[in-house]
Structure 1
């Protein structure tokens, strides 16, 4: 893909400012993320950098490296080995290393079963994910520690739709035989349930895969249309199928050796930054959902609503999949507490649905995440 001159100039400006701050900072860290600088993730990283600089009074400086230092598929090993101090790690790409964290993500179909959806399900799911991971799941933190990393941030996308080229899907039988990009195992199971083929691809390869006919559709959230210029190749979008969302996000994993080398004040600033990037990532995606769909429509894509039979079949798949996923992860992925985890997580998610009901801006969301989760982590001991 080719990015505009404005995008490159923006990235260069941010990097120049960051380098200037680093010259005076006590702690200087680099942040590798496999997304464009002007994407929702890139903007969230900018907020993270600013938030940490302010919180630490300039003592901690972070420089972002978009799509250069580490790719998405290199992020986990790169942070582990110290090639980057901080990385944006998608745990679904590394199932063997993060089975319990992946299991939490696989519970994302719970959002399809909310009886009275408000549209704020992603905000709630993010809160539930970061709370459960940091405060209720020692196995989750242990998996990161085993990879020489400290988990300090999350983030969740809007619900998934079908983003297609030369393919219209509104009925159950129209899924059969289609090649669908799948972000993780749960989406592969969805595809196979309906007689389609799930194709595992990183998000940054979706454009080429659609353009070259490698896949018919991508199961993906709408803001990635803007982030990766998918409106250039899309012809059809089916809203709300397969549903669910992407929650396998460790949005600011820090190299454990680097973390241990810092004092408590610096670590506290990074935890504050974790609440900032968690809120910014989730909010950026949340507010851009409808905007991205409209952009695709303006570019000529047809927007479809699924037929009632497909909606019902999607919900029924979610119910059955959630019933079996605990057994699957207990027996196949060595997550012995799987049933206990889903029981606990469901209660926490319901609590977060109430907590986010009045949230109308990113600052309120960030403060909520800080008060309920990140402020409860002890910088002196967390992650070690």
Structure 2
């Protein structure tokens, strides 16, 4: 950073410093600082990316942020009125020199603008590698300016009323946050942004997804300009696509054969429910007479049977419940509810009835049973104890089923 910007000895810091930006990068946080260099106000911005240990650092002129054009000081015309005989000559010479100076200044300004545009283009090209779009919002005037970096066509109007933009975003997307009843229409309001952005190194990060498409993004809101009383006046909202990250997480949490969640995600859900003190009922399931299917018809037929069993399990639960394949022919269900004993028994009977019904694959009628054990949180202890209890009850029932099978064979 020092080699790239070398700012410390050449600028006048208005708020923040190079050390603050370094601290933000070391801590993986967002931050900004404002400085004056050669009479121009600039922002030094640090934004953590979706990639571990990488931060985006850039310098943006305040003209990019607030859209204000610095007024060019008009030159005063020096009137010389010494001698009448030379008045016209002096005026003509003065006007000629002024024209030359004006042309020279215009040429210098043009070259400076071209250089600044090249710097800005390079910066935006660098940003576009990890940032999809950004928006600068004036919380006082309620106006915004939106920039699209990935698509050739902007997704939204490039400027307008911020309240209208929030309404558009809220209709298209939903927030992915653990906060109860959190909505984008609330998280993006000027009042809420002012309440959470109190210091230059504060930021607000919100993950959200499309209501209709498989699209996942993260929005980072950074303060870039402040009032004298310490309240934020202007913010920058940066959007990054995290769809690939979400897809990789889904793959890591999903059983590749059945599409159900795997044991890794099973442990995570149990811990989350316990941390939030959310009551749930855990059902441990193990298929009976599955091994003969593999031995008789082969593993390919066994895999198809497991897929059908998984589809039936999903029909037993609601959208807010979870179904897992723990391994082999073992499954688990987490029902997010506080159920009494009668309700738990009815649920277990429903599961056993659904899974024990004959399954026809390639004109072969396959029939398996299921051993089921359940436990509930917090009645049966913490999450780890609930897991142990449900597992032991399932194996007790499986032992009972084996004894019944041996009795039928002997008779």
TM-score normalised over the length of structure 1: 0.19
Determine which structure has the larger helix proportion and give its number. 1
Which structure's CA Rg is the greater one? Answer: 2
Determine which structure has the larger strand proportion and give its number. 2
TM-score normalised over the length of structure 2: 0.18
Greater relative contact order: 1 or 2 (C-alpha under 8 angstroms, separation 6 or more)?
A: 1
